[in-house]
Structures are given as structure tokens and as C-alpha cells.
Amino acid sequence: MSIEEFIIFVYLIIDELYPIVVNKPLRTRGFPPALTDIEIITMQIVGEFLGMDTDKSIWMYFKN
């Protein structure tokens, strides 16, 4: 499985499970976020799997 396929796989699993765990939106006010909760959770899980231990390194990986 390529890294791209792994990222998609993780995203789809989280997309399926997220509504079961979260019953109401976490954000109710302010500007809409640039990324969804599902996207952020996917980035964190994939980043940790790849051995990245800081938010900055995970962000830089996905930014490219």
C-alpha cells in the first residue's frame, strides 16, 4: 500500500467513525475552519504513524 492509499484509507475510516463519536459540532461560532476535524485527525494519525512527533513537522509534511 502506498502512502497516498494509506492516507485515503485512514481518512475514510475516520470519516465513518467520527459521527459515531461526536454527536454535535465542536465549533459553533467564529470563522469556518480551513480544515475539517476529520482532516486534522487524519493528519495527526498519519503523521504519528510516519514517526513525526511535532505538529510543525506533520504540518510541513502535508503542506508539501
Q: How far apart are alpha carbons 25 and 36 in whole angstroms?
A: 11
Residue 55 pLDDT class (50, 70, 90 cuts): confident
pLDDT at 42: 95
Q: Model-level pTM?
A: 0.81
Q: How far apart are alpha carbons 7 and 9 in whole angstroms?
A: 5
Mean pLDDT value across residues 27-50: 89
Three cell numbers written together for 15 = 470519516
Mean pLDDT value across residues 29-36: 86
Asked whether the predicted pLDDT for residue 60 surpasses 80, the reply is yes
pLDDT at 27: 73
